[in-house]
Each structure stands twice: as C-alpha cells, then as structure tokens.
Amino acid sequence: MSELDHPVLVDFPLHGEWVAAHTPAHRIPSHGTDRLGQRYAYDFLRVDERRGMHFFKGSLLSYWLVGVPTSSSYCWHAPVFAPFDADVVVSKDGLSERARLHPVGDVMTVVLKTIAVNVKARLCGVRNIDLHKYLGNHIILQRGDIFAFFAHLCPRSVAVRKGQTVRAGDVLARVGHTGISTAPHLHFQVMDSADLLTARGIPCAFRSYQVYDRGRWRFVNNGIPDFNERIRYK
C-alpha cells in the first residue's frame, strides 16, 4: 500500500504548460525532508523544447557566465490560482527577489541561507526565526482541516489578505523567486496545520489535467504528476 493511495483532491493551481521539478511521485519526501510540512510538496516551473530543464529565455552559456534576468524565466509572474474554496489564514508579501539568475550565485545563496537558519535555530530557537525571508512571499489557505501552502511568490503580487474568503480559481498571487529559491517556480503543498513548524504533509492529487505522452496530449483525472512530466491545465 502506497502513501499516495488516498490523496486529497484539489484543482491544479496554475494554468498553461508546466513540469514538476520536485514531486512525491518521484520520491518521498519530495524535497528530502519532512520539515515545514513538505513531505509531499511540489515544485512547478515552465521549460522550453530544448533537452533538459531549460526554464529561461537565452543561451545556457550566458546563464553560466553572466547570468540572465529573473524576468527571462518562462514562469516568472505567472498567476497562481486557488485550488479550492478556502479562507486565507496567512498572507505575506514585501520581500524582494534577486534581479538576475546565475547557477553558482543562486546555489550559494540557498546554501548560505540554509546554514544561517539552522545556526539561528540552534542558538535562538526555531520560534524566534523570521521564516518569511526563507520561505519568500507566501500564502496559506484553509479548508476545514486541510491547509494549502504557496511559496516564493513574486514581490507585490499577493492579491489576498488574511481573513479573506477565496473561491476555487481566484487569483492569489504570481510566481516569483523570493526566499530560498534557485529559480522562479511555485512551491505548493498540502498539510494539516497552518503552523509550518509543526505541520505534517498530506498527499494531494490534481482533479484533472493533461499529460504530453508520445506526441499527443491525454487527459488525467485524480493524478500526481511525475518528475519532468510535461503537463497542462485549462
């Protein structure tokens, strides 16, 4: 019996074509840890037709040598939609993002921030850490005892506030590159609490989407996208 046999069903939170860079269909925990409720978390981004995960406009040489603008990422600023009717319980905006993408610089930033948060947690206690700067701009929605978390959102794009009720399909924010992020993408997960320090991940599947398979698009119902699987919704 698999951990993914009875997932919570939600609408896909993005429109257009996407791939999953991290998904519980590939491994569990999908991000290598159960911390912060991310056991079954997804990372979604857009790629072009080149071989490999080319998620930006421009040459690979430029990316490695001098970097490319963050805005050149195919998914940057794409709208994020509510996957179900819910109440907004957390809404954080205002954190800036890096203007350029560079593989070495982005990885080093992630490594240094990760070390810093772990050291601070040991010295000051986890409850004294401002998670906003590490999670980036983010939103948490609540539907009963189910909580949906969206991270790394674009600055000044969060369109909902704490206490607001949203309907499935409402625009919440836009995809960005804030917090501990190596490239613009949407981090999405479902969990059992709004408190990320104690939350446990809950597996979720998407009610409907399409998968590009052997030269054609086919419909999938109640599916969990696999790693690097090209999918689309709407």
Torsion sign across C-alpha atoms 152, 38, 164, 205: positive
- DSSP-assigned states of every residue in 143-159: ETTEEEEEEEEPTT---
Asked whether the beta carbons of 209 and 12 are under 8 A apart, the reply is: yes
Is residue 3 a part of any domain in this protein?
A: no
Q: Does residue 2 lie in a domain region?
A: no
Give me 233's structure tokens. Answer: 């919704």
In-domain check, residue 218 = yes
pTM score above 0.85: yes
In a domain, 136, yes or no: yes
Residue 228 is predicted with a pLDDT of 92
Number of domains within the chain: 1
Examine residue 1 and state whether it is found in any structural domain, yes or no. no
Q: How far apart are the C-alpha atoms of 182 and 129, rounded to whole Å? A: 21
Q: Find the domain containing 173 and state its range.
A: 8-233
DSSP H helices, 79-217, are 103-124, 132-135
Query: Tens of pLDDT along the chain (234 residues)?
Result: 789 999 999 999 999 999 999 999 999 999 999 999 999 999 999 999 887 788 999 888 999 999 999 999 999 999 999 999 999 999 999 999 999 999 998 888 878 777 777 766 676 776 777 789 889 999 999 999 999 999 999 999 999 999 999 999 999 999 999 999 999 999 999 999 999 999 999 999 999 999 999 999 999 999 999 999 999 998
176 touches 154 (CB < 8 A):
yes
Is the residue at 124 inside a domain?
Answer: yes
Q: Which of 157, 177, 174, 156 is nearest to 67 (CA)?
A: 177
pLDDT reported for residue 119: 67
Strand locations in the chain (E):
8-10, 16-22, 42-45, 68-69, 79-81, 86-92, 100-101, 137-143, 146-153, 165-166, 171-174, 186-191, 201-202, 204-213, 216-223, 231-233
User: CA–CA separation, 173 vs 212, rounded Å?
Assistant: 27
Tell me, what CATH number does 32's domain have? 2.70.70.10
The two tokens of residue 222 are 């109640």
